[in-house]
Amino acid sequence: MILLDFTRALAQLSDPRFRRVIFLGIGLTIGLLAAIYALLVLAVGLFAPETVTLPLLGEVTWVRDLLSWGSLFLMLGLSVFLMIPVASAMSGIFLDDIAEAVEDAHYPGLPTPPRPPLMDALRDALTFLGVLIGANILAFGAYLIFPFAAPLIFYGLNGYLLGREYFQMAAIRREGRSGADSLRKRHTVQIWAAGCLMALPLTVPLLNLLVPVLGAATFTHLYHRVAAKG
């Protein structure tokens, strides 16, 4: 049944509302990373000395240029790790649009739920971003201690985080926060399994940028399926 939820989500990728969220998420992510790089360059320009006197080398005048180029390569390296969680956070602001598109196509006739305030959606998205980055940083220690189990740890951890976040997003629209929590606890294993399925594309370049949208759509289907059972 989880695979059916996923294939339904995949089949709807051509929906204009899906494409809009994908492009908005990627565009905002690139814009945010560019802004961070601009701040790094500004900091180098303001605080890096123009000349430095070093032993043996004497007066060096290219320190600022070196730091500027170094900040560029640092940002390119960090973007490899930050692109996905940041894209998830940026797309998360608009994931209510995805749930609405899924319900319009597959569950017509449902009453329209109230849309969450933009600031609430932004707060939830940034909270998820912090948890996702923090948990994966902590997981690096486990990867070093148990390298043979690193893939299982990665998919298990991110599957849990993605499943919890996307199911909560889908359920809270119609159940409220307490109702969503209760429903999630009754279907923890199924939600975790669906989250692990969402975690698989995280390691595939380009495809990983679709994870927020596919996750929101898949878990909207999953929510309606388990809610019907109670």
pLDDT at 193 over 80: yes
Q: Name which of 166, 182, 160 is nearest 227 in CA terms.
A: 182
What is the predicted pLDDT for the residue at 60? 45
The pairing of strands 52-54 and 58-60 is antiparallel
Measured CA to CA, the distance from residue 63 to residue 75 in angstroms comes to 18
CA–CA dist 210, 201 (Å, integer): 8
DSSP state of 93: T
Cβ(220)–Cβ(99) under 8 Å? yes
Q: What is the pLDDT of residues 15-69, one digit of tens each?
A: 999 988 888 877 777 777 777 777 777 766 665 555 545 454 445 454 555 556 5
**pTM of this structure:** 0.77
Within 13-71, strands assigned E span 52-54, 58-60
Tokens 């929590």 label which residue? 181
Domain boundaries, the chain: 2-229
Residues 6+ apart with CB under 8 A from 148: none
Cβ count near 138 (within 10 Å): 10
pLDDT tens-digit readout, 139-158 = 888 888 888 998 899 889 88
The CA distance from 5 to 28, in Å, is: 28
By percentage, how much of the chain surpasses pLDDT 90?
Answer: 20
Rounded to 5 degrees, φ, ψ at 52 are: -135, 135
